[in-house]
């Protein structure tokens, strides 16, 4: 009688069971693993916050040395000082014998009087050219300050700018004194005023 190995009889059964167990494990793996993935939690990364830090401005320190103090001379005991130094006595009587300064030049006091219309010469001012100035070839502009009263008459004259010692100043003032003027007007009223009149001397 032929003896049969029991492993050979159970081998197909073992293969089937092993295959069935493998299939079951695979199915359980697909069913359980997605849930496991969903349960995983990822750590959140804290947001990086950059803070602006105000850096205080540095102050420059002035290292310039202070100016040196001026040296003060110290009197020395070794200096020779004359003990017999005396001052001459002043004689105040000498001052009384000195000549007094000359008085200021006298002349008309010019008072400014406001006016609306200035005086106007009714005839041209024709000065006589001095012979001494003609021979010397002297020319110039003489400025005469004259007071014209409310009737248009020249009452006072003085030289503001002249050429002295040539006769031009006197000739200019003489010509202005002989000229009749239309008086100045202040609010339609004739008034006496001071005006400056230039007189031109030119050789032909």
- Structural domain count, the chain: 2
What is the predicted pLDDT for the residue at 41?
A: 47
Q: Is the confidence at residue 43, as pLDDT, over 80?
A: no
Q: Is 89 helix (H, G, I), strand (E, B) or coil?
A: coil
The range of the structural domain enclosing residue 193 comes to: 120-201
Query: What's the average model confidence in pLDDT over 37-59?
Result: 54
109 is a domain residue = no
2 is a domain residue = yes
* Confidence tier at 45 by pLDDT (50, 70, 90): very low
166 is a domain residue = yes
98 is a domain residue = no
126 is a domain residue = yes
21 is a domain residue = yes
What is the predicted pLDDT for the residue at 3?
A: 55
1 is a domain residue = yes
What is the predicted pLDDT for the residue at 9?
A: 67
Distance CA 132, CA 145 (A): 24
Q: Say which residue, 44 or 34, is predicted with more confidence.
A: 34
**CATH number of the CATH domain containing 139:** 3.30.2420.10
Tell me if the pTM is above 0.75.
no
169 is a domain residue = yes
Q: What percent of the chain has pLDDT over 70?
A: 59
In sequence order, which residues have a C-beta less than 8 Å from that of residue 176 and are 6 or more positions away?
125, 144, 146, 154, 157, 197, 199
Q: Is the confidence at residue 8, as pLDDT, over 90?
A: no
Distance CA 16, CA 22 (A): 10
- pLDDT, tens digit (0-9, with 9 covering 90-100), for 50-59: 555 565 565 5
Q: What percent of the chain has pLDDT over 90?
A: 44
């Amino acid at each position: 009688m032929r003896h049969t190995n029991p492993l050979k009889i159970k081998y197909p059964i073992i293969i089937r069971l092993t295959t069935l167990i493998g299939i079951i494990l695979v199915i359980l793996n697909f069913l359980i693993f997605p849930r496991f993935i969903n349960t995983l939690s990822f750590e959140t990364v804290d947001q990086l916050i950059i803070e602006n830090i105000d850096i205080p401005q540095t102050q420059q320190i002035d290292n310039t040395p202070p100016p040196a103090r001026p040296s003060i001379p110290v009197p020395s005991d070794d200096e020779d000082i004359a003990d017999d130094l005396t001052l001459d006595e002043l004689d105040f009587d000498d001052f009384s014998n000195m000549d007094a300064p000359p008085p200021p030049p006298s002349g008309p006091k010019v008072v400014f009087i406001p006016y609306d219309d200035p005086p106007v010469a009714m005839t041209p001012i024709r000065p006589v050219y001095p012979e001494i100035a003609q021979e010397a070839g002297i020319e110039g502009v003489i400025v005469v300050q004259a007071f014209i009263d409310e009737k248009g008459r020249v009452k006072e004259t003085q030289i503001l700018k002249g050429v002295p010692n040539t006769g031009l100043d006197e000739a200019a003032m003489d010509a202005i004194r002989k000229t009749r003027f239309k008086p100045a007007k202040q609010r339609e009223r004739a008034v006496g005023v001071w005006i400056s009149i230039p007189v031109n001397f030119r050789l032909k």
